[in-house]
Amino acid sequence: MAESDLVARPDRNLAMELVRATEAAAIRAVPFIGKGDKLAADGAAVDAMRAFLGTVEFDGVVVIGEGEKDRAPMLFNGEHVGTGRGPQADIAVDPIDGTSMTAQGRQNALSMIAVSDRGTMLDASSVFYMDKLVADHHGIGVISMEQTVAENIRELAKAKGKPVADMVVAVLDRPRHAELIEEIRAAGAGTRILLDGDVAGGINAARYETRIDLCIGVGGSPEAVVTACAIKALGGFIEAKLAPKDDAERQRGIAAGLDMDRIYDAEGLVKGGNTMFIATGVTDGGLVEGVRRKGPIIRTESILLRSRSGTLRRITSDHLADRWL
């Protein structure tokens, strides 16, 4: 590989550096677990992530910043992070995916970062929500947002060689999904209702060893792009369509160059074959365990997904607790 490529493209070592930022954000969020103040939890995680990102040898631009949706503290869109030297990258950050879950002491809260080559990540920040459809590799060429929920469940079940009755579909627990949940159950499948965290739901739908077969429904548009970075590493399937709340938001999206009628696939959400997804558990969940205090150490569990090599790595780290006091 030419030296210019090493400068222009995020490499494998970058993910190992960025995991320090998600670990730091997760650890700093711990004192706020179950305390009912999601903004305080998010603020602590944002400050920790920003501080650690500033030490990483890369030139990152935040394409998708956390916080705009609910007026939380944020790493803002357009913010430059890293030392400014080394690989040039687009990044999407969510210091805590599941701030409400953290505040309530519930499962499946994550700290995460997604990375791709500079200029490849869709900036969907002008429209906060997207309708999504996520599955593993069996879904490729089989399911589509142009089909009904029942058709997608039946076709995916056939491709996976399992009865429809054994299919499990993950859906966010939101009033807007009441009819969707009924459609899933009417088709004969079961549901896994997610209180929050549809990124973890989508990743689990794309992994071969989980009980979730499909993740569908309307969630954040930033989460769709982040999920696409992970799906590319897992070889799975994702489609998403923008879901503006009203005509004013629709017009903002159009003015920003977004196509309201387009069904975005993984390539439409993030271009190319060089994506990374890094996540550390804040609270326990189906994807990773949460932060644990064990005597003099703090233990974190993280996953690193990289599309270029098609790998998923799990990292368990023990941190001396007195360094975090």
Q: Say whether 37 counts as a known binding-site residue.
A: no
Q: Say whether 213 counts as a known binding-site residue.
A: no
Model pLDDT, residue 198:
84
Q: Say whether 136 counts as a known binding-site residue.
A: no
- Sequence spans of domains, the chain: 13-118+274-323, 129-269
Q: Say whether 197 counts as a known binding-site residue.
A: yes
Q: 190-212 burial string, b = 16+ CB within 10 Å, else e?
A: ebbebebbbbbbbbbbbbeebeb
Q: Say whether 196 counts as a known binding-site residue.
A: yes
Tell me the whole-structure pTM to 2 decimals. Answer: 0.90
Q: Say whether 90 counts as a known binding-site residue.
A: no
Structure tokens at 178: 């009441």
Structure tokens at 324: 């975090």
What percent of the chain lies above the pLDDT cut of 70? 94
CA 139 – CA 159 distance, rounded (Å): 8
Model pLDDT, residue 181:
98
Which is the CATH superfamily of the domain at 13-118+274-323? Fructose-1,6-Bisphosphatase, subunit A, domain 1 (3.30.540.10)
Q: Say whether 146 counts as a known binding-site residue.
A: no
Query: pLDDT-derived band of residue 9, with 50, 70 and 90 as boundaries?
Result: low
Q: Say whether 85 counts as a known binding-site residue.
A: no
Model pLDDT, residue 230:
96
Q: Say whether 175 counts as a known binding-site residue.
A: yes
SS3 of 25, please?
helix
Nearest-10 crossing angle of helices 178-186, 149-160: 50
Query: pLDDT-derived band of residue 127, with 50, 70 and 90 as boundaries?
Result: very high
Model pLDDT, residue 208:
84
CA 127 – CA 262 distance, rounded (Å): 14
Q: Say whether 94 counts as a known binding-site residue.
A: yes
Q: Say whether 10 counts as a known binding-site residue.
A: no
Report the chain's terminal Cα–Cα distance, integer Å: 43
pLDDT in tens, 203-247: 999 998 899 999 999 998 989 999 999 999 999 999 999 999 999
pLDDT in tens, 266-318: 999 999 999 999 999 999 988 999 999 999 999 999 999 999 999 999 999 99
Contacts (Cβ under 8 Å, ≥6 apart) of 241: 130, 131, 145, 261, 262, 263, 264
Model pLDDT, residue 12:
60
Give the Cβ contact number of residue 186 at 10 Å.
Answer: 10
Alpha helices in the chain (DSSP H): 3-8, 12-29, 38-53, 99-104, 149-160, 178-186, 198-206, 221-234, 247-255, 266-269
Contact 288, 274 (CB under 8 A): no
Q: Identify the residue whose tokens are 């429809």.
A: 164
Domains 13-118+274-323 and 129-269 share a fold: no
Q: Say whether 220 counts as a known binding-site residue.
A: yes
Q: Say whether 99 counts as a known binding-site residue.
A: yes
Topology adopted by domain 129-269: D-Maltodextrin-Binding Protein; domain 2 (3.40.190)
